[in-house]
Structure formats: C-alpha cells, structure tokens
C-alpha cells in the first residue's frame, strides 16, 4: 500500500470546516448564476482567480461575498449535502460543520427555516453518503454584539437537532471591543450544554488563546498555531490536553504562515500537543481533508504512525457518543495494522 493509498483508506473525522467555505466551485458557480447581483464571478476561471487571497482581510471579504449568495434554505441544504458527498469520497465518517446563523439572518432567512434545512440535510447526509453531521454555531466576531445575540438566540431558541457546539470566528483583532459580550454569550451557551469551540491564535498572538481558555471555557481551539510563541501556553496545552484544530493549507493561503514548509505542525507534535488535521474552507484553498493528510506526510514529513495518531485524535476530540467513537477507532485500527506503505 502506497502512502497515498493509505491516506485514502484511512477513516477520518473533520472537526473544522465552515458551511460556506465548504462550497465547491461548481456549487458556487450555481449560486452565482442564480444570484447574479451578488458580485461573485459566474465563470470558472474568473472564480478561481477570485479565490487567490492576498491576506486574511481579503479572504474575509471574499468569504462574505460568497456567504451573501446563500439566500434560501434550499441553498443551505445544498451546501451541507455537497460537503458530505465530498467527505464520503475521502472516507470521512463524521463532520462537525461550522454554521454562521448571523449570515443567514441578515439576508432575511427565519431561524426556523434555517434549522429545518440543517436538520433535513443532516438526515440525508447519513442516508445518502454515510456521513454523520453535527453543527457548531459561530459568532462572526467583527460584527460584535448583534451577531452574538442573534447566534445565541438561534442556538438556544431554534437549534438544529445535531447542534453540539458554540464558536467564535472572524477577525481576532476585533474581539477586545466586544470582550464582555462574547464572555456572556459563551457562558449562556455552555450553561445550556453546548461545547465551547472558538477559533483563537490564528491571526493573533497567544493572548487570544488564553482569553478563549480562561474566559470562554474553550474545550477545543480552532487553529491555535500562535501558541508556539508562548512556552507557558505550550506547557498548559500539553498538560490539559486541549485539542487544537490545525489547518495547514488554510494558514498558508491566508498569509498566517509564509510557506507550508514553515508550518508549526511538526513542532506542535514534538511538543506533545493534542492536534488534529482539518481543511477549514477546502475549495477556497484548493484542498480537502485527505489532501491535508498528504501535505502533512509529503511537505511536513510526518510518518504513517503520526497520521494515524492525528486521525485518532480527531475522533477523541469530537462530540461523538462513545459508541460512535469506538466504531471509527476500530476502523482506523484495522487500516493502520495493514501492509506498510512503500
């Protein structure tokens, strides 16, 4: 078995992928042609050029433009099913999909209709693609108090059946302005039983990760790569085993890491941190969950045993029930004890 064949065969769990960011080029083209006033190119070559990001703020603007094409509940279901179809082809068994309710609120979609679309898509994803779907509702941080209120109201008042977590994303440098608002929102969400799963340490320093841990009650950290700048934080993360959702290609595409060869993932593993591999916004970054495993192997030098550990870490860090975790772990073990790849 070659390393490519091994990665293809390895059962996987995806913990960090965004609904709109998961939209394949054909799906975005369909939406752009359906909503030609959205300012998103409706021809493939132009769309691919549209996806060449200069920095994170530019990426955020492009993401918002694509987000604005999602205007009907049917669009939401189409995105979920497109993602789970793609994941099924990569031997993924489970996904925690980040949804931003505020984005659907501002285009006039009622909460109930959004929830019904998410529930419908989750059922069909399991039936048609064999992929279990859970949802994480996240606050787009730069939109502040209103976004936090809308996200929390939806999470507590009209949640989809498979809602498991509460997140915070967007431009991290804007967070201090709304610090108390975000703390209050996370306090209410976790009191209601949702897991705290914020992004932190992607485009800012370790202080954002400390804020997430100490004041948002983070159980997992989205990205978290700037932890490597703080030895005390490294020691804390190692001791507490807080999972980090690492997305190497994303970090390069948005300019957080200069070259893939410079990515801190190998050092994070050497430091004994609990890391998982994820795709973030796969079509926007010309990647996939399987490709992230290939990048880890080919560009970052990780061996087969380490890839297996990363796959197992994702299962343990997930919100799956014990039986669901064990089923996937058993599948991973069956593949990992097979022939050594050439």
DSSP codes joined into one string, 27-92: HHHHHHHHSGGG----SHHHHHHHT--SSHHHHHHHHHHHHTT--SHHHHHHHHHHHHHHHHTTTE
The pLDDT of residue 283: 86
Please state the rounded mean pLDDT for residues 292-312.
98
Lowest mean pLDDT among 51-60, 119-128, 267-276, 296-305: 51-60
Q: Give yes or no for residue 256 having a pLDDT over 90.
A: yes
The pLDDT of residue 50: 86
Q: Give yes or no for residue 342 having a pLDDT over 60.
A: no
**CA-based nearest residue to 29, from 57, 9, 7, 48:** 48
- In a domain? residue 342: no
The pLDDT of residue 266: 98
258-278 residue pLDDT tens = 999 999 999 999 999 999 999
The pLDDT of residue 107: 87
List the beta bridge partners of residue 200: 223
- In a domain? residue 197: yes
Helix (H) or strand (E) holding 276: strand 275-277
Domain count for the chain, please give it: 1
Mean predicted lDDT score pLDDT of the chain:
94
Q: Per-residue confidence at 340, pLDDT binned at 50, 70, 90? A: low
- In a domain? residue 95: yes
Pick the catalytic residue from 14, 96, 142, 202: 202
- In a domain? residue 228: yes
- In a domain? residue 255: yes
151-189 residue pLDDT tens = 999 999 999 999 999 999 999 999 999 999 999 999 999
| Catalytic residue flag (residue 202) | yes
- In a domain? residue 316: yes
Residue with tokens 């709304």: 178
Find the CATH number of the domain harbouring 210.
3.20.20.140
Altogether, the residues listed in the chain come to a count of 342
Q: Give yes or no for residue 62 having a pLDDT over 60.
A: yes
**Cα–Cα dist 161/159, whole Å:** 6
The pLDDT of residue 85: 93
Q: Which domain holds residue 9?
A: 3-336
- In a domain? residue 265: yes
- In a domain? residue 200: yes
Q: Give yes or no for residue 56 having a pLDDT over 60.
A: yes
How far are the Cα atoms of 113, 203, 332 from residue 101, in angstroms, in the given order? 11, 23, 34
Please state the rounded mean pLDDT for residues 246-265.
95
Please state the rounded mean pLDDT for residues 275-296.
95
The pLDDT of residue 339: 64
């Amino acid at each position: 078995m070659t390393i490519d064949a091994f990665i293809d065969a390895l059962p996987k769990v995806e913990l960090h992928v965004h609904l709109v960011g998961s939209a394949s080029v054909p799906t975005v083209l369909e939406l752009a042609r359906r909503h030609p006033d959205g300012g998103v190119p409706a021809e493939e070559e132009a769309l691919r050029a549209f996806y060449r990001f200069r920095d994170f703020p530019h990426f955020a603007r492009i993401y918002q433009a694509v987000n604005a094409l999602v205007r009907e509940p049917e669009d939401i279901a189409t995105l979920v099913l497109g993602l789970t179809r793609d994941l099924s082809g990569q031997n993924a068994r489970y996904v925690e999909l980040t949804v931003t309710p505020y984005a659907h609120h501002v285009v006039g979609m009622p909460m109930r209709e959004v929830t019904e679309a998410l529930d419908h898509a989750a059922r069909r994803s399991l039936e048609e693609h064999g992929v279990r779907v859970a949802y994480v509702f996240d606050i787009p941080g730069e939109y502040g108090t209103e976004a936090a209120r809308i996200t929390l109201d939806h999470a507590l008042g009209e949640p989809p059946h498979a809602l498991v977590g509460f997140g915070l994303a967007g431009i991290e440098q804007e967070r201090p302005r709304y610090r108390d608002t975000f703390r209050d929102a996370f306090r209410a969400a976790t009191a209601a039983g949702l897991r705290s799963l914020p992004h932190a340490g992607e485009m800012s320093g370790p202080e954002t990760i400390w804020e997430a841990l100490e004041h948002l009650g983070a159980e997992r950290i989205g990205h978290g790569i700037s932890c490597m700048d703080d030895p005390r934080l490294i020691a804390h993360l190692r001791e507490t085993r807080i999972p980090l959702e690492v997305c190497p290609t994303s970090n390069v595409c948005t300019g957080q890491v200069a070259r893939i060869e410079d990515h801190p993932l190998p050092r994070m593993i050497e430091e004994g941190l609990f890391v998982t591999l994820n795709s973030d916004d796969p079509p926007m970054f010309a990647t996939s969950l399987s490709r992230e495993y290939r990048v880890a192997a080919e560009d970052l030098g990780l061996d087969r045993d380490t890839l297996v550990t990363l796959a197992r870490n994702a299962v343990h860090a997930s919100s799956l029930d014990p039986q669901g975790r064990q089923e996937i772990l058993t599948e991973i073990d069956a593949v990992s004890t097979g022939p050594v790849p050439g």
